Structures are given as structure tokens and as C-alpha cells.
Amino acid sequence: MLGLIAAYDQWENPIAWIYLGLHGTYGVLWVIKSRLFGDASWEREVSLGYGIATWGILTLYLIAPWLIVSGNAGDPEPWFVGLCVALYSFGVFWHFVSDMQKHLSLAWRPGTLITEGLWGIVRNPNYFGELCIYLGFGLLALHWAPVAVIALVVAAVWYPNMRRKDASLSRYPEFAQYKARTRLWIPYLW
């Protein structure tokens, strides 16, 4: 983001700096989380093709900051900027708290289904948190492209992962009851 700000000489663009603060903070928090209560599935080796595909998908997230610094984004009203920051903050809570809850629950009670706390409301609170995070900084561009990228990632990566996880968790006898009283991904809606 700093490179984009420099390349487009957008040092006085407050939306660029807000974007940098949000997305940059998310990156730092992700590294801290990975060190303190990481997910083993993120630490495994992957094929070169999988790594390139992942890099390519993640690179699409540069569309929003490019739109912001290149002058192709809208000019958000202050109330909308505040809404984006609030959405991002709400997402950070859901994402990181649910990952910490999962980490501690599985450490204290390995091999059990987590059905309380945030996981008692929705079966994928971490994905809900990530949706709020990415929408929080993606919407700052006031452009359809960042939303399309998020929709693509949801359809191609997140939703299939959620379905696979449900299939895996169905091995627990209490899963059917848990599934009936929770939502897949968005609390109280879906």
C-alpha cells in the first residue's frame, strides 16, 4: 500500500491512509495470531501450483487500494468511512475471538465439537469475521470490483471449505442438533 501511495503520489489522500491502517493492522494481527495460536493447516507445505493460485487470489485484494490511489474510486462521505471502520472492527472481533476460542477449546477438550460462544451462534464465525474485515476496507473504494473479488473468494474458497467442514463435523453425534440451531456463516441469517 505504501508503494501504491508513493507511485501515485497520494501522500495527502486520507482514504489511502485509512485503508493502509485497516489492512496493515489486519496483516500484523494475522502474523501475531499465527505465532500465538496458529492453525496447523496454514503451516503445511503446499504444491507450487497451489501456492501460485493462492498468491494470485490474494493479489486480487490489491484492486481496492489501487482504485483508491489511482483516482478510480469514489469519494466516500465521512459517515461511510466510519461505517467501514466499524465493520472492519466488528470483523476483527469475530475472526480473532472465534479462532482463539477454537484454539483453546480444542486444547482443553480435544476431539469435541465446539458448540458454545461464537460457535454456538454460527458454525463459521471466523469466515463471518473475515467477510466483515474485507468488506470494511474493500468498500472504501466505493467501486464494485472489490466486492466482486470478495464474492469470488467466498464462492470459490470459503463456501466449499464451509461445506467440507460441515461434512467432516457430521461424524459427531450431536452435530445434527447443533446444525439445526446454528447458521452456516452469517449470524441469525444464513
pTM, full prediction: 0.91
Residue 96 belongs to a domain: yes
Residue 101 belongs to a domain: yes
DSSP the chain: -HHHHHHTT-TT-HHHHHHHHHHHHHHHHHHHHHHHH--HHHHS---HHHHHHHHHHHHGGGHHHHHHHHT-S----HHHHHHHHHHHHHHHHHHHHHHHHHHHHHHHSTT----SGGGGTBS-HHHHHHHHHHHHHHGGG-SHHHHHHHHHHIIIIIHHHHHHHHHHHTTSTTHHHHHHHSBSSSTTT-
Residue 28 belongs to a domain: yes
How confident is the model at residue 14, as a pLDDT? 96
Residues of the domain holding 22:
2-181
Residue 188 reports pLDDT greater than 70: yes
Residue 189 belongs to a domain: no
Q: Tens digits of per-residue pLDDT, 144-175?
A: 999 999 999 999 999 999 999 999 999 999 99
Residue 116 belongs to a domain: yes
Q: Tens digits of per-residue pLDDT, 11-67?
A: 999 999 999 999 999 999 999 998 888 777 667 788 889 889 889 988 999 999 999
Total domains in the fold of the chain: 1
Q: Tens digits of per-residue pLDDT, 98-152?
A: 999 999 999 999 989 999 999 999 999 999 999 999 999 999 999 999 999 999 9
